[in-house]
Amino acid sequence: MKKTQYLKELSLSAATVRKGLANKKADVEKIQSWLCLQERQHRGIGTMTGIDGDYGPATEVAVKNYQKFLGLPADGIVTPPLFSKLCLNIKSSFETASRKANLRETISEVAHHHLKGFPFELVIKQQTNCGPWVRSYMGGNEGSNWLWCMGFVQAILDQATSLHGKNFTDMMPVSYSCDTVGSHGIQKNVLIRNEKLRINSGLAKKGDVLLVRKSQSDWIHTAIIVDIIGDTFITIEGNTNNDGSSNGDGVYKRVRNFRKSPLDVFSIENWAK
């Protein structure tokens, strides 16, 4: 697997992090980030706090609230076992999905596995597109300019193809650009245009990559197709929201109508056999 940045999100440099110690700012920011992500998943546990690298009273209370949520003694001290619980979702998403009978089914399985991990971005220092999930999908990059929908899609393809002993780079180049992947699809004759899909929706299959088209050579968003029902693609996609934005806040399962929207498909048929 090529996308291994997530491993850097699973540990701290210090054995113990708590208020009053000379903590490393990066360690504290990791803890604060995961506390905020826990609140996104478990509303009301009281762990949302500022991400500033300072282990002050607010962070200590947030840690204690998380410990109470887990039924642990609330001492406000972050140890390796506690941090492992904080970041368990990302470890599970990248490591525990299982290989299915064929590559298409495995891609769908991996995408659903990530969806269950509640991947969301965070706003850090007034920058969107930040946090451990974004860094994991984007090779350590983050910030408002780093739209991560393609990073998510390629992470899914990377993980799924690895389970089958293959490399996703045989399909497409490593890139965070929808335009790069779309253009590559044209060059390799594997990009199915929306006009053809409206005539024959059977050309698209589970595991293919959806590309939202702005013009004939410009694509602005991407997703994994996990099902086709009637005139719609069921997708799992990153960096989106309820409006289908290409710069949203998380990973969602969506329904997109290919008869009403210009949706092209990058077919993986040549590699799924």
The answer to whether residues 239 and 247 touch, using CB atoms and an 8 Å cutoff, is yes
The model carries a pTM of 0.97
Clarify whether residues 166 and 83 are in a common domain: no
Q: Does 133 share its domain with 213?
A: yes
Number of domains in the chain: 2
pLDDT recorded at residue 245: 92
Domain with 102 in it: 98-271
Domain stop point among 62, 91, 120: 91
Q: Say if residue 102 is in the same domain as residue 26.
A: no
- Helix %, strand %, coil % of the chain (to 5): 40, 20, 40
Mean pLDDT of successive 10-residue stretches along the chain, which has 273 residues: 95 96 97 98 98 98 99 98 98 97 98 98 98 98 98 99 97 98 98 97 98 97 98 98 94 97 98 88
The domain that holds 64 is classified in CATH as 1.10.101.10
- 152, 254: one domain: yes
pLDDT given for residue 145 in this prediction: 97
* One domain, residues 79 and 188: no
Domain boundary among 69, 91, 113: 91
> Does residue 268 contact residue 207 with C-beta atoms inside 8 Å?
yes
Say if residue 72 is in the same domain as residue 193: no
What is the per-residue pLDDT for 273?
79
